[in-house]
A and B are shown apart, each in its own frame.
Chain A
Amino acid sequence: GQNIDQPTEMTATEGAIVQINCTYQTSGFNGLFWYQQHAGEAPTFLSYNVLDGLEEKGRFSSFLSRSKGYSYLLLKELQMKDSASYLCAVRKGGFKTIFGAGTRLFVKA
């Protein structure tokens, strides 16, 4: 089977750092994505990891360990506008992408 697990909700304070974890078990692996989705809107691309290690892009960083089936998204210097759902998604063979249930992040002042 296939499974993508991430926490349902997280709360963090403006200006702080938050780490959203994702573990996966899938048949086939061709990369891992993180997307941000605000309520009622389509997801927007944040990051893509296919090799082990950390990818940094501004305030957002994403880490992947293929051997552990584990990834995290790190958000620094949190802003109120970062309140959204964060979706972990695994690309399998044939470019089919399977999404986790998403983590709803609440940023408080």
Chain B
Amino acid sequence: GAVVSQHPSRVICKSGTSVKIECRSLDFQATTMFWYRQFPKQSLMLMATSNEGSKATYEQGVEKDKFLINHASLTLSTLTVTSAHPEDSSFYICSAREDQGTEAFFGQGTRLTVV
């Protein structure tokens, strides 16, 4: 199957700083990428949908100025958590879909801890 690489897998940052998470499709072109957040023992909550070359569409309740998403190429999308706070600590997962594809493939996830 297709491979989606997410980096970093773990990151610890200080409160008030910003963190960038990358999501790359390694062997296909990802028309659409999705960003999810998962708190412990809870399911994946969709944060936003990004399409290459256009602005991301954010789900209700997700602050677009805090969670900056850039999808500048068909193989890379980035999520930047700005001015991170401890409550932003979570597991962030991206998934990517190629045009006409049925399945979206998940990255390995990023465990963010804000101290």
Give chain A's interface residues, CB within 8 Å of chain B.
31, 33, 40-45, 48, 87, 89, 94-102
Q: Find out whether the CB atom of B34 lies under 8 angstroms from the CB atom of A97.
A: yes
Bound form: Cα–Cα A45–B106 in Å:
9
**With contacts A42-B93, A48-B102 known, is A98 near B108, CB below 8 A?**
no
Q: Find out whether the CB atom of B102 lies under 8 angstroms from the CB atom of A97.
A: no
* In the complex, chain B residues whose CB is within 8 Å of the CB of A98: 46
Q: Find out whether the CB atom of A95 lies under 8 angstroms from the CB atom of B43.
A: no
* In the complex, chain B residues whose CB is within 8 Å of the CB of A31: 102
The binding surface of chain B is classed by DSSP as: strand
**With contacts A31-B102, A48-B102 known, is A97 near B46, CB below 8 A?**
yes
When each residue 21-55 of chain B gets 1 if its CB lies under 8 Å from chain A and 0 otherwise, what string results?
A: 00000000000101010000011111001000000
* In the complex, chain B residues whose CB is within 8 Å of the CB of A99: 36, 43-46
- B67-115 contacts to A, CB under 8 A, are 91, 93, 95, 97, 102-109, 111
**With contacts A31-B102, A97-B34 known, is A42 near B107, CB below 8 A?**
yes
* In the complex, chain A residues whose CB is within 8 Å of the CB of B91: 40
Q: Find out whether the CB atom of A42 lies under 8 angstroms from the CB atom of B49.
A: no
Having A45-B103, A102-B43, one finds 5 other A-B pairs with CB under 8 Å, namely A87-B43, A95-B32, A95-B97, A97-B34, A99-B45
